[in-house]
Amino acid sequence: MAEVVVVENELAAGALIAASIRDLIAQKPDAVLGLATGSTPLSVYRALAASLVSDPLDVSRVRGFALDEYVGLPAGHPESYRAVITREVVEPLGLTAENIHVPNGDLASIETAGDDYERAIVEAGGVDVQILGIGRTGHLGFNEPGSSFASTTRIKTLTEKTREDNARFFDSPDDVPMHCITQGLGTILRAKHLVLLAFGDAKADAIAAAVEGAVTASQPGSAIQFHPQVTVVVDEAAASKLTNLAYYKHAWAHKPAWQGL
């Protein structure tokens, strides 16, 4: 079962997960991080960046794989996930740019880009910790409802709901690409540790479905129930529709310190 941790706010979530990523890098200097984009993981990246300033750690060998990318945006578009990962993760953390991979959303090579990305992840030895957000459709990465639990990196069509949600990053809703390339649910499930973060009321249904709902391709987030090590970090609003909330809080309050995250 997923471990559900209810935190006061995004800052507390960022501090908790950044500390666990620091521990991982201290033990494994070439750790492989799975990087989500969107608003949700920003508190983690910011807390990690701040902690690397106050207490430096060699991150030059850290490797990273983004979850997804839009298809067909012009190279260098500020909302391409390559640009977002550079701006929000690589630069503030001082990572080595060549170590950080983002699926290739160029139309010219899209037919082979998925297999190329899968190969690169395998060659890196797999992802150690995968940071995840969740969409209102229940998507992980851009695996919209109906995605196979065994899926690998491939092109997908975004739902209109996701395009609406992501319109805030673009000048006009029509500018949000129709297609993306995303790690599959099968790819995500191969990461050693999944950390799923969610904040706010708008995510409460998706979190309840992912953590406690039926395992179904109609709720891609429910794929986490197949994974042996999942940490779900939520605020009270995102946790509000969880039936067993009191138990999760009780278990976290009494967790043996030696277990870590």
Using CB under 6 A as the binding rule, whether residue 114 contacts ligand F6R is answered as no
**Is residue 82 a contact point for ligand F6R (CB under 6 A)?**
no
Pairing of strands 193-198, 129-132: parallel
Of the candidate spans 16-24, 31-39, 43-51, 100-108, the one that interacts with ligand F6R by CB under 6 A turns out to be 31-39
Report the residue from 24, 37, 144, 156 that binds ligand F6R according to the rule CB under 6 A.
37
Name which of 205 and 249 has its Cβ closer to ligand F6R. 205
* By the rule CB under 6 A, 36 interacts with ligand F6R: yes
CA distance 175 to 156: 17
Answer for which of 38, 177, 184, 221 binds ligand F6R (CB under 6 A) is: 38
135 near ligand F6R, rule: CB under 6 A: yes
Residue closer to ligand F6R by CB (options 10, 128) is 10
Lookup: tokens for 138: 């229940």
Q: Does 130 bind ligand F6R (CB under 6 A)?
A: no
User: Could you say which residues in the range 46-75 bind ligand F6R, by CB under 6 A?
Assistant: 67-68
What length is written for the chain? 261
Which residues of this protein are in contact with ligand F6R, per CB under 6 A? 36-40, 67-68, 133-135, 139-142
